[in-house]
Amino acid sequence: MNEVLAFPTEAGAILASLFLESDALKLAYMFIPFVVFLELPLNLMIWMGVLRYYTRRIYAIPTQYPYTPRITCIVTCYAEGQSVQGTIRTLLEQVYPGQIEIVAVVDGADQNADTLQALRDIQPEVELYASRRLMILPKVPRGGRVSSLNAGLQLARGEIVMAVDGDTSFDNSMALHAAGHFRDPNVIAVAGSLRVRNWHQNLMTRLQALEYMITIHLAKVGLGEFRGINNISGAFGVFRTNLVRKVGGWTTGSAEDLDLTLRLKQYFGRHPGFYIPFEPRAMGHTDVPYTLLGFLKQRLRWDGDLFFMYVRKHRNAFSPRQMGWWNVIMGVWYGMLFQMVMPVLIVLYTLWLVVVADPGIVLATFILIMVLYAILTALMYITALVFISERRGRDLRLAWLIPVFPFFAMGMRVWSLVAIINEWWRHSSQESSMAPWWVLRKSKR
């Protein structure tokens, strides 16, 4: 019994001695520049932006009248079945005095008869709302999400167009908070916030809920204060209709959200006043993959499309003349260096460390790095909880994941590199499930 109790003590002493090894500290210091020059400045910028947002909200003078132009919500539907009715109801129940017209586009209507019927069943319910209108557009040949969005855009009569997924629901004040920004004529789009709706399902969904809380709900508040939003989420984006039409609508088979954002930003050089704010109170809720395989498939597509957009399709767009200096800096820093170069550096550093160092030194260095990331995660989490969260009770139930999250983030970094290599070598963006193969072959150039 005494021997069993003595084992943890001896293991702790060995681990402590490894931390004190000069080689371990030296190797850890070699990793620190990745954090100091890429991640820490970004985190400091986010913290400053959050404090600015919080202070501005305290001293803000409310407008006398809300800005309530007509909104067209394009709901892209594919295989949602009865759950699409939940999305429609959350749009009907918006506390928004203006008109909201909902254009529900059913992609591949013959194969998705259940979704089409669910929309027809809810039509009588729509008639109970005086300022709401539902148009159902069955699209028989499947053309993908982009073709659905463009079909809905042709019918849009609103000054503002909102692109949403058929499986996304919303807080009832979403439209009011999002539309208010368009009072400023320089606002060409608004990025809404997203939460994980099935967060309580298992460990995988809880980790993604914490990720969304930090990387979307917190980070975009901070970046938005400095006009540094790089992407408007495809699950929930709000745009000025005439500008979307001016750039030709949506034009690619996958990653259409980042593609449209980058094409809109190419007007910023000619119109320096244009900007895209982030509105955390415009809240959407979406389901995330609950299995490891589903999660890996999703991130393989997301990170591969990121490489395709930044390196292949829009590599010539990053010039101050087209996007303005600030958007070029944010695109290169956050879009390229942080999201694409960092995974390469981290994986190469880890492989090099395993080759050149003793196993004990590798273990000590790895633990030291994970502790560093756990501290950063805790600081970001506390900032989000104190200054931004509108559901603190729910978010508090994610606190126990903070020590685990660095390992999850490390795994995502490694998988990002896999996705980048997969897209670079195999052009995997042409194999996306977001559209039929013939659409992807035609649109990917």
- Domain assignment present for residue 61? The answer is no
Same domain, 205 and 248: yes
Confidence category of residue 20, pLDDT binned at 50, 70, 90:
very low
- Domain assignment present for residue 385? The answer is yes
- Domain assignment present for residue 310? The answer is no
Determine the structural domain holding residue 18 and report its residue range. Answer: 14-54+328-436
Q: Give the domain CATH number at 235.
A: 3.90.550.10
- Domain assignment present for residue 299? The answer is no
Domain count, the chain: 2
What per-residue confidence (pLDDT) applies to 5?
Answer: 42
Same domain, 355 and 378: yes
- Over residues 228-247, the mean pLDDT reads 91
Alpha helix stretches (DSSP H) within 342-358? 342-356
Q: Which residue has the higher pLDDT, 93 or 332?
A: 93
- Domain assignment present for residue 7? The answer is no
Task: Answer whether residue 198 shows pLDDT above 50.
Answer: yes
Same domain, 160 and 249: yes
Confidence category of residue 61, pLDDT binned at 50, 70, 90:
confident
Same domain, 258 and 365: no
pTM of the model: 0.88
Torsion of CA 115, 117, 121, 124, to 10 degrees: 100
Same domain, 202 and 223: yes
Same domain, 274 and 345: no
State both tokens at 132.
């709401």
* Domain termination site, one of 290, 319, 354: 290
Same domain, 97 and 245: yes
- Domain assignment present for residue 382? The answer is yes
* Domain termination site, one of 242, 269, 290: 290
Same domain, 88 and 44: no
Task: Identify whether the C-beta of residue 162 lies closer than 8 Å to the C-beta of residue 71.
Answer: yes
State both tokens at 344.
């390469």
Same domain, 217 and 341: no
What per-residue confidence (pLDDT) applies to 348?
Answer: 83
- Domain assignment present for residue 312? The answer is no
Residue with tokens 């767009």: 317
CA 65 to chain centre: 31
Please write the tens of the pLDDT for every residue from 393-430: 999 999 999 999 999 999 999 999 999 999 888 877 77
Same domain, 81 and 218: yes
Task: Answer whether residue 4 shows pLDDT above 90.
Answer: no
Same domain, 233 and 178: yes
* Domain termination site, one of 268, 290, 312: 290
- Chain mean pLDDT for the chain: 86
- Give the side-chain half-sphere CA count within 13 A for 22: 0
Top mean pLDDT of 14-28, 357-371, 424-438 is at: 357-371
User: Which among 187, 192, 184, 178 has a CA at the least distance from the CA of 274?
Assistant: 187
Same domain, 168 and 239: yes
Please write the tens of the pLDDT for every residue from 124-136: 999 999 899 999 9
Top mean pLDDT of 46-50, 55-59, 64-68, 268-272 is at: 46-50
> CA triplet 71, 72, 76: central angle to 5 degrees?
140
Task: Identify whether the C-beta of residue 160 lies closer than 8 Å to the C-beta of residue 72.
Answer: yes
Q: Which residue has the higher pLDDT, 16 or 333?
A: 333
- Alpha-carbon span 162 to 71, nearest angstrom: 7
- Domain assignment present for residue 186? The answer is yes
